[in-house]
Structure 1
Amino acid sequence: MTASHRAFMRARSVIAGGVNSPVRAFKGVGGEPIFMQRGEGAYLFDVDGRRYIDYVGAWGPLILGHADADVTRAVADAAARGLAFGAPTEGETELALEVRALMPGLERLRFVSSGTEATMTALRLARAVTGRDKVVKFEGGYHGHPDSLLVKAGSGALTLGVPTSPGVPAALAAHTLVARFNDADSVGALFAQHGNDIAAVIVEPVAGNMNCVPPVAGFHERLRALCDQYGALLIFDEVMTGFRVAAGGAQALFGIRPDLTTLGKIIGGGLPVGAVGGPAALMDQLLPDGPVFQAGTNSGNPVAMAAGLATLKKLKAPGFYETLSQRVAALTVGLSEAAARHGVAFTTNAVGGMFGLFFAEGPVRYYDDVMRADADRFRRFFHGLLGLGVYLAPSAYEAGFVSAAHTPADISATVAAAEQVFSRLSGP
């Protein structure tokens, strides 16, 4: 009996499902979750002492790798001054200024404690300023777990085969309209029918919760034009892509300015955080300057602010994103070539520091392309790599992440391990 198994059995006796987020439970790939003990650079170490090259990175925040010395020093210094105050600190302002310097469209920000809170706030704000109720989202898109957005959701809901959730009132779901990611005509059809009732379109600018699916040319431009035409707000959910795909996020990479942006993950350096931001005229509608309610006891937590600030400062190093993209390209090209040598149908997508793996012939551009990929073959691939010391997300529907701590040797070792696993998958 492994230490991980004992830890899981103990957790199940007191934690719902034994995990605090469902995708961690390995239901999408079978088996039991691995309990981790520590991280260092590109590596995770489990409670049984095994080391893994990590491509989960705490689901995206750890763009510098585990236990980066500058980030941990900033956290320790902040913690020594106090864990929370329930009052403003200058660290909140410093992080907001750093975010705004990189994303100039975010004239004002409001920090919260999670990406879910950020999207809840963005939708409430959009509905308040437009006086409308309906929201357009995309099948396979995940924006946390607000009730009205758990309709054809990605991430854990998609992994576990639960595209909607019990407990979501039908009246709330009725206000959510679902379009097809990368199909601008499907959005146009919804606006033609409901345009005067649509408050906002919310989109992951690079889909990351039905695995990694980049936008096709012209998709975001059409969304921007439709929102402008009908007086709706365009919300970019950059909880995952913010500072992951480029220094200014996906909006800088694609040259699109949304009305509101939600952030999380990297801006907390691995600690719980979220943010919503946009033009002053919109953001000033939040209390205390405006009538739209939002509050949170731990919003702007000083330790999280310190971790985020230390992280963002290091991302400005010359060539940071070029090197990160080169590492991702080396990984995805190496994996594709290894699969081809063994006759395995396999496709990769990549944008900046994130990537997607699909056991299907490409290209993969739409939700239905993702769903036709061979999830059972991914399951076998996942466990094969896990046994060889490579840790991927335990789901065929989650993006992967490379950090600045991954070396060319780590990439080569991963490709070599994958070569062994592909050789076993080459049969029927």
Structure 2
Amino acid sequence: MKELRLTLESFRFAWQALKSNLLRTVLSLLGVTVGIFAIIAVFTVVDSLETNVRQSMNFVGDKVIYVNKWPWVFENNFAWWKYFNRPVPTVREFRELQRRLGPNNKGIAIFANTSGNLFRVGSNSMEGCNLQGVSMDYNIVSDVPIVEGRYFTPQEVESARNVAIIGAEIAETLFPNGSALGQEFKTRGQKFVVIGVMQKEGKKLLDTPSNDTNCLVPFGMFTKMFALSSNGMGGVAPSIGVKGRDDDPGLLDLEYEMKGVMRNIRGLKPQDEDNFALNRPEMLANAITQLFSVIGIAGAVIGSFAMLVGGFGIANIMFVSVKERTNIIGIQKSLGAKNYFILFQFLFEAVFLCLLGGGAGILLVFLITLLPQDGLPLFLTAGNISLGLTVSVVIGVLAGIIPAVLASNLDPVIAIRAQ
């Protein structure tokens, strides 16, 4: 109980010292404010960038393995000539995968797309649209967020009917005066009836495919308008996506099964290399994580220099504070104050200074996140707030420990005589 009372007294003395030298206190915590602001601002921007980039890459789906001609690699010395002559996935291989794959998957889809299409309704038109042909289970492999209407029926896909699911921007442009459902539009010499409208995504940080300008049609209808490529050189090259199960960690079982089935379909011998690529969204996620880890470390190092300057400023002020209050320290010790009481008194003062400065720096970052940001919305996470406060406490302890130890070890007789 006595120790708690003395600790609270240490807090009180520290707070009174800070209030009695308000101008010096403000000037001292400015260095910490700038340092914490620099560090937390860097981490906030990096976290916001990473989140927005990942959201921009959502079109690749989750827990999906794609069969492609080219692997998704991120290397400087990419050996492209090894993959140049590979065949692209075909409808026959899609059918065989549907037939042969076991229960390790939720759904299989084949899809292909072309960009730069012109959609027209009377006098209304829209250029640069993406036209994508999909099979029945595409909504299982990839998210199709329909807010109005419905998805394709098996009959519509099998009979390759002229029906379409369009993005929000296409619907707003072609049908500005009412609902797009049941309306017709024309592209590539074909008329399509709108059966669904997808949820609006808005602007993305990266120029990645967006549902807002995307139009889904049955794959059979798509092949009537565009010739499919056999080697990736001419025509449209399709892709095959297989959705994995949640109880298959890492999709290892599905990958092994797909690899064996694809090698068998293409008649590869045991000594032959794979002439197909099994790609995962995790490849993109890992590359993004590595990139932003490097950026975050570089930013933290730069921000730490500002924090170091703030720490030196706090230490200097604490030495001055000890010098000014040497006489008071002697009186306190002569009246029975313990060494740890004097130690905590100055240590708490240093920590208070750093916490106030760190809190002000975090507040500045938070105020910046409230500003309208169209291209890159910023957000301050609880983790970054905790990091800022923790760094403030650590800097306060490091900056105040030496002055506090010196103050606690002063001889009371010598300290009382100090002028």
Fold in common (TM above 0.5): no
By relative contact order (CA 8 Å, sep 6+), the higher-ranking structure is: 2
TM-score of the pair, normalised by structure 2 = 0.24
Structure with bigger gyration radius = 2
TM-score of the pair, normalised by structure 1 = 0.24
Q: Which has the higher helix share?
A: 2
